[in-house]
Structure 1
Amino acid sequence: MDSEKEKVDNESTKEKNDKNSKTEDESNTALVKNVTWRHFMFFFIHMIQAVGSSIGFPVMSQYLYAKLNKEYFAAHNISIFTNTSNQRLGKCFVNTSSPEYKMQQEVQAINAQWSQWFSFAHGIPTIIMVLLAGSWVDVIGRKTVSLMNMSTHIIKFVIYSICMKFNLPTAFLVIGYIFEGLGGSYYLGILVSFAYTSDITPKNHKRAFFLVAVQNVYQILWGLTNLASGYFIQALGFFWPLIFAIVVNIIAIIMFIIIVPETIETGKLTDISPRKSLERITMFYTRKRQGKNRSRLQFWLCLLAFAALSQSVLGEFNLDTLFVLNSPFCWTPIKLGNYGAVMAFSSPFLTLITLRLMQCFLTEELIGCISLGFHIMRCVLKAFSKTDWMIYLSGLIGSPGLLSFAMIRTIVSHLTDPSEQGSVFAGLGTVEALCGMTSSVMLNTIYAHTLLWMKGFVFIVVAISCVVPASLLLGLHFVNKKEKSKTNVELSLDTNTTDSIASQEPEPTLNPAVNAAFEPIDKTF
């Protein structure tokens, strides 16, 4: 009897373990069961688009500075351009006591002010579109939303090229930023990319590594083309490189339509109403019961950390180019391209090596927290930079500094069901777009008012601001640890309850016929 009881217990335990293992495997599998080469073409085509964008965006930022520089000095009857083709940004004045130097600092302040207007024109429609269209990726599909996003980048490039060709006033450039915002800008693009990645990758460390690896490949291509764009601008000016960027983006869209498959079943058009979109986005932060191993507090901490991180650093990147165009650096388009290429080659390798090392010992929350330490060191060094090698060193030190963006997205991806990936990323994307706009306005204002007495002061502000998201990620680490412990205790209690029920033997009754059924069977003959 004891052996039969032990056998039954072993079979029960085996069935239970098999069931738990099956449930765990199902939760860790990708949404798309049969992933083919066509799915990975999503990333390859976006790499082609990145090639076009990596030429287009440097052209636009440098063209704006050159245009404002030329107009400001022309208004004072001073010529800063020569007839030679190797001078696209105008003279750089290094004598701090000369009136031309002070005038050029005023040009930088004007440039920063225009950047604020562009941020508003671009940011307000972006916030609305990411809030609404971000959840549409779970209804009308990843592919449709991605096509809409890619198309508006081309419209912005076209408007810039028209302004260049006909020398239109700077105010006309605002139209391009509005159109880009109506397509969700970078924020909607990265949202769709993360949702698509979540569809074809399992819910484990591979997803985080794949997300970071794809971003790094984009960065390498960006740097390679950035290097070429410096020589392109120096040789041909601003117009023809931008035309090249437009053609490359059109080719990418055509390939995307023909090759890339959809990963989800599309829903009804009635499901894309604003009310339903808002419900899908806010449910993670409002509903009481989130499911096993996740709570509202975890989602709120991720959201707050992402908001604080976006507010701290996103506006900084618009200032990086402006910072090195004037004294004491006086970088040309070629120098800007060389720097972009060096960072594009070195930063991905440093980032991936750092990530793999930290993944051996740390959770995603702690990786994000520690990576912000690298970004803080970058900002402090850059604030006091006086030579080119200090700019390069700050870039190398800060290479792993923005892993926290990928880590937060990975955390919320693990907490969310496959059918809700687009909606949860839409919430993060909306916050990123809102804080990206306010961050740009805030940091450009600080830069415009402090560049005369300390040009790098704005980077000190960024370094101090990064302490807030680092603290929130540290708090998230302890909350996640507590939730996992609570879940393990519940599973342990369920296991003990099941074992106790299985081990209970039926009590014999007073009926002799029934009692005989419980007597050991004598198998000796």
Structure 2
Amino acid sequence: MKGLYLVEPVVAIYSFASFMVYPLVQQYVYRRLWLEITNSPYPVSDNSSRCASNSSNHTSQQDEVQKAASLFSLYSNLCSMIPSLLVTLLLVAYSDQRGRKITIIMPLIGSLIYTLSLLAVSFFELNLYLLIAASFVSALFGGIGTMLGGCFSYVADLCEDGKQKTLRMATVDMVIGLLAGVASISTGYFLRASGFNWPFFTSAIFQVVNLLYAIFILEETKVIDRSETVACCRTLQKLVSGIYYLFFGGNRRSWILVLMIVIFTSISFANTGGLSMMTLYELNEPLCWSEVLVGYGSAASLTVFITSFVGVYVFSRCLPDITIAFIGMLSVFIGMVMIAFAKTTVMMFLVRIPTMFAIMPFPVLRSMMSKVISKSEQGSLFACVAFTENMSSYVASAVFSSIYAATVAWCPGFVFLLGAGLCLIPVSLLGILRCFHPVDSNETEALLSDDETENSDDAPVA
């Protein structure tokens, strides 16, 4: 059977299966902690709000549960952060030598392990903190950063034209949002109709199907010489030297890549940190959303992937990449500020409007970085991009979780104002990049050509 060069189905199924679980994990932990802390059943209602009581005792208990849930999220992120980061860096960089599929298959195995662990904890009512151990084990196989790093490297292998590369990467981001949105809408009804077990089981089935597609149908883009055997130490040395030369080669290209990595990481930190607290914020007073509203809210948030793709498609015809990234960062800033002051359900849904272009900076910056390096360095680049993105996501979730736990009693929206303030850092750096090192299509081609000449003359012999 002839394989397919389509990585989008892998991303689509992974997104659907993962976002069927992600909104439920926080809700499941929240309900278990509610039961343990308050010694009373979780208040489930058919109404849009579950704030039936406004007594001081009820408010105190809810604040305590909020703090415990945010700290649980902090511990889980910390346990999975280090192994996931290391595996991401090594696997995606290694894909330059031995193919991209390993970076896709390994995270799918880890995700399946975590989902099955979640199902076991829920079905047998095991100790809640076993989920932290499951996070650590699954991180040993890589995480979403590993898979996306492999997928973007896969796309870069297939695309010759710079504009095609930008649109194809934006398409991958759009697929994530589209399928995640469908999963988020169905999750609330699924939870209400059948509890937690069936959604976890359904997610596991989808992940098995996805794993089979990645192993047996997805075609490899890299030509692998099976007869070549390289010692482990030699392989690691080549990986480290390749990454070092890419970012610390002492040339203009390296300076631009480092600056763009910092911009990418800082906007990812602000965006991920704020959004990681959305579900807890919606469950808290005065919103007190039900599981159905949480699902609709997640779906509404994820439509930003579709609108951002449309924005990239339209704006790329008339605007430079840096301007498109700036519009996206401004969208994140305005959305964060509005979320901090949203106190009604209608207002909470309306804040999704100014955030419609919030994802645009990510595919644009990836494409900008990919354009200034050769095809043989794509894995090293996206290993570093995935590493920094993964690290910023974990650190942001940990930092924002701890800050939310400390500020939820007096200002639940403080973390979103913090996220908005942090958006000013990548905006300023983007201005520096634009003023001193404008990166248009002609200049990037010249930059790549010059660097290839330097590399052939000065690079150390392997």
Instruction: Flag whether TM exceeds 0.5 (same fold).
Output: yes
Change (3 A) 1:317 1:122: farther
Provide the alpha-carbon RMSD of the alignment: 2.5
Match of 1:181 in 2: 139
Contact 2:300-2:352 at 8 Å conserved across structures: no
Q: In 2, distance between residues paired with 1:131 and 1:488?
A: 28
Alignment partner of 1:168 is 2:126: yes
Contact 2:31-2:42 at 8 Å conserved across structures: no
Contact 2:49-2:288 at 8 Å conserved across structures: no
Q: In 2, distance between residues paired with 1:230 and 1:486?
A: 46
Alignment partner of 1:270 is 2:236: no
Contact 2:50-2:290 at 8 Å conserved across structures: no
The correspondence for 2:337, drawn from 380, 401, 404, is 380
Change (3 A) 1:58 1:372: same
Q: In 2, distance between residues paired with 1:330 and 1:441?
A: 23
Kindly report which structure 2 residues correspond to 1:55-94, keeping only aligned pairs within 5 A, or say none.
55-74=20-39, 78-81=40-43, 92=51
Q: In 1, distance between residues paired with 2:390 and 2:217?
A: 30
Which moves more between the two structures, 141-150 or 478-487?
478-487
SS in 2 for 1:397: coil
Q: In 2, distance between residues paired with 1:202 and 1:265?
A: 17
Contact 2:305-2:359 at 8 Å conserved across structures: no
Match of 2:391 in 1: 434
Alignment partner of 1:205 is 2:167: no
Match of 1:105 in 2: 63
Match of 2:406 in 1: 449
Calculate the TM-score normalised by the size of structure 1: 0.79
Using CA pairs under 8 Å that are at least 6 residues apart, name the structure with larger relative contact order, 1 or 2.
2
Match of 1:39 in 2: 5
SS in 2 for 1:68: helix
Q: In 2, distance between residues paired with 1:139 and 1:149?
A: 19
Match of 1:468 in 2: 425
Contact 1:370-1:470 at 8 Å conserved across structures: no
Match of 1:22 in 2: none
1:261, distance to aligned residue in structure 2 (A): 0.7
Change (3 A) 1:465 1:94: farther
Change (3 A) 1:296 1:384: same
1:138, distance to aligned residue in structure 2 (A): 0.9
1:338, distance to aligned residue in structure 2 (A): 2.0
4+ runs of 1 displaced by more than 4 Å?
482-489
**AA of the residue aligned to 1:50:** S
Q: In 2, distance between residues paired with 1:91 and 1:338?
A: 16
Alignment partner of 1:285 is 2:242: no
Alignment partner of 1:458 is 2:408: no
Match of 1:27 in 2: none
Match of 2:457 in 1: none
Change (3 A) 1:359 1:80: closer
1:349, distance to aligned residue in structure 2 (A): 4.3
Instruction: Note the alpha carbon deviations across 1:29-87, whole angstroms, 9 max, x for none.
Output: xxxxxxx98112x212331232222212222221111111111111xxx44457x9x69
**AA of the residue aligned to 2:230:** T
The gaps in structure 1 that reach 5 residues or longer are: 1-35, 492-525
Change (3 A) 1:394 1:81: closer
Higher alpha-carbon Rg = 1
Change (3 A) 1:116 1:90: farther
Q: In 1, distance between residues paired with 2:237 and 2:22?
A: 35
Match of 1:393 in 2: 350
Q: In 2, distance between residues paired with 1:419 and 1:488?
A: 18
Identity, % of aligned positions: 24
Match of 1:234 in 2: 192
Contact 1:93-1:101 at 8 Å conserved across structures: no
1:343, distance to aligned residue in structure 2 (A): 4.0
Q: In 1, distance between residues paired with 2:446 and 2:91?
A: 37
Kindly report which structure 2 residues correspond to 1:300-319, keeping only aligned pairs within 5 A, or say none.
300-319=258-277
1:212, distance to aligned residue in structure 2 (A): 1.0
SS in 2 for 1:296: helix
Calculate the TM-score normalised by the size of structure 2: 0.89
Q: In 1, distance between residues paired with 2:27 and 2:62?
A: 15
Change (3 A) 1:316 1:183: farther
Q: In 2, distance between residues paired with 1:288 and 1:192?
A: 27
Contact 1:47-1:221 at 8 Å conserved across structures: yes
Change (3 A) 1:341 1:481: closer
SS in 2 for 1:38: coil
1:219, distance to aligned residue in structure 2 (A): 1.1
Instruction: Note the alpha carbon deviations across 1:107-139, whole angstroms, 9 max, x for none.
Output: 111111111111111111111111211201112
Contact 1:156-1:180 at 8 Å conserved across structures: yes
Kindly report which structure 2 residues correspond to 1:138-149, keeping only aligned pairs within 5 A, or say none.
138-149=96-107
Contact 1:298-1:479 at 8 Å conserved across structures: no
1:100, distance to aligned residue in structure 2 (A): 1.1
1:238, distance to aligned residue in structure 2 (A): 0.5
Q: In 1, distance between residues paired with 2:86 and 2:383?
A: 11
1:180, distance to aligned residue in structure 2 (A): 2.5
Match of 1:121 in 2: 79
1:189, distance to aligned residue in structure 2 (A): 1.1
Contact 1:125-1:178 at 8 Å conserved across structures: yes
Change (3 A) 1:102 1:469: same
Contact 1:203-1:414 at 8 Å conserved across structures: no
**AA of the residue aligned to 1:72:** I
Instruction: Note the alpha carbon deviations across 1:440-486, whole angstroms, 9 max, x for none.
Output: 12111111111111110110000000110111122222343389669
Contact 1:54-1:222 at 8 Å conserved across structures: yes
Change (3 A) 1:93 1:447: farther
Instruction: Note the alpha carbon deviations across 1:278-298, whole angstroms, 9 max, x for none.
Output: 222222112235xxxx52210
**AA of the residue aligned to 1:39:** Y
Contact 1:93-1:104 at 8 Å conserved across structures: no
1:90, distance to aligned residue in structure 2 (A): 11
Instruction: Note the alpha carbon deviations across 1:211-241, whole angstroms, 9 max, x for none.
Output: 1122212211111122111111111111111
The correspondence for 1:295, drawn from 253, 269, 276, is 253
SS in 2 for 1:264: coil
Contact 1:271-1:277 at 8 Å conserved across structures: no
Contact 1:281-1:424 at 8 Å conserved across structures: yes
Q: In 1, distance between residues paired with 2:151 and 2:179?
A: 17
